[in-house]
Structure 1
Amino acid sequence: MGENRDEIMSLRPIKLSDIDDFMAWASDARVAHFCTWDSYTSRDEALNFLTNHAIPHPYYRAICVVGSISVTPGPGGRAELGYVVAFEHWGKGIATEAVRMVASTIFREWPLLRRLEAFVDADNGRSQKVLEKAGFVREGLLRKHAVVKGKSRDRVAFSLVSSIHS
């Protein structure tokens, strides 16, 4: 991993050759804490995820090479944003910049998209700040919105709406 910010801030489709960089952050329990998935414990498990989920996903990008960001299409012109960054890169603005990069292009890339949503664990204040800094609007608390690792969790809803559609 280089320390050049331009290298870190590039977004590109994730590849199998990214497995070592993926394992560097996906195996860290601190990174997985607020995620729906547990930290990866084996390369085989990670290769299975990359092969069967990340690579065929319609919008799953590597934040080169310190994390990932995805946009998952939903019904009615909506999509859900998700992102994760390696622990040693927290607090450096990388997640905020990656979210801004996606937000600045996704509505043009997906012309039928009207609303980009993000749901953040209510206890994850850092991620809430990322979305606010990137221009998302905080919509409110969704009580017991998700079951994460066997526990019911409250989440905060955020959105960014297309200026293309009125």
Structure 2
Amino acid sequence: MNSPSITLRPFRLTDVDDTMLWVADDRVIRNLLRWKTITSKEEVLTFIREVCIPHPWRRSICVDDRSIGFISIFPGSGDERCKADIGYAIGVDYWGQGITTMAVKIALSQFFKDFPDVLRLQAYANAENKASQRVLEKAGFVKEGLLRKYSYLKGNLQDLVLYSFLSTDTIPADP
């Protein structure tokens, strides 16, 4: 793929067909804690309308304005307002091309402008998901440690790796 135009934008109802390609793929959904595979166009439309659009900071990862995945950042509130959690996924056809890393870098610069009170962005990666760990490291996240037997993922207790990025950290330049 030669220099695709990678952007982040809010989801649109017109994204339903493109979104269906990745939300219906078990390979994409398997590492997402609270997601289940969506198998009908109606479910995807409802998902976009009721979950994606009203979310405080969920963006469609787009290549040439076609939705190929998502990035969600969940800002904390109250005493947790200084931090937020990030999650992401893209369609299998786009794996291994640096697109997710670029999207995470774009999200970092946008999110900290949108939420200036957030000082810490944290990510949890399945200990077996080396690709997600590489994305975070290439985007400038710092590995903080292994959380043993930390969370259930699709019914199985998993070890997770915790990463963080502070608002004062520098987003690495592209090579």
Matches within 5 A, 1:25-64: 25-36=22-33, 37-64=35-62
Distance in structure 2 (CA, Å) of the matches to 1:153 and 1:45:
28
CA 1:66–1:4 in structure 2 vs 1: closer, same or farther (change >3 Å)? farther
Q: Hey, which bits of structure 1, 4+ residues long, moved more than 3 A? A: none
Structure 2: any 5+ residue segments left out of the alignment?
170-175
**1:44 is matched by which residue type in structure 2?**
E
Aligned match of 1:154 = 159
Matches within 5 A, 1:2-81: 5-6=4-5, 9-36=6-33, 37-64=35-62, 65-74=67-76, 75-81=80-86
Distance in structure 2 (CA, Å) of the matches to 1:108 and 1:47:
29
Structure 1: any 5+ residue segments left out of the alignment?
none
Task: Identify which of 79, 99, 105 aligns with 2:104.
Answer: 99
Tell me the SS of whatever aligns to 1:157: strand
Aligned-residue offset at 1:4 = 6.1
RMSD value, Cα: 1.6
Q: Identity of aligned pairs, percent?
A: 43
Which piece of structure 1 moves more, 140-149 or 11-20? 140-149
Tell me the SS of whatever aligns to 1:120: strand
Distance in structure 2 (CA, Å) of the matches to 1:76 and 1:18:
31
Aligned-residue offset at 1:3 = 7.3
Residues 75 and 81 in structure 2, CA contact (< 8 A), matched pair in contact too: no
Question: Which deviations, in whole Å up to 9, do the C-alpha atoms of 1:23-58 show, x marking residues without a partner?
Answer: 001111111121122221112222222121111001
Aligned residue pairs, count = 161
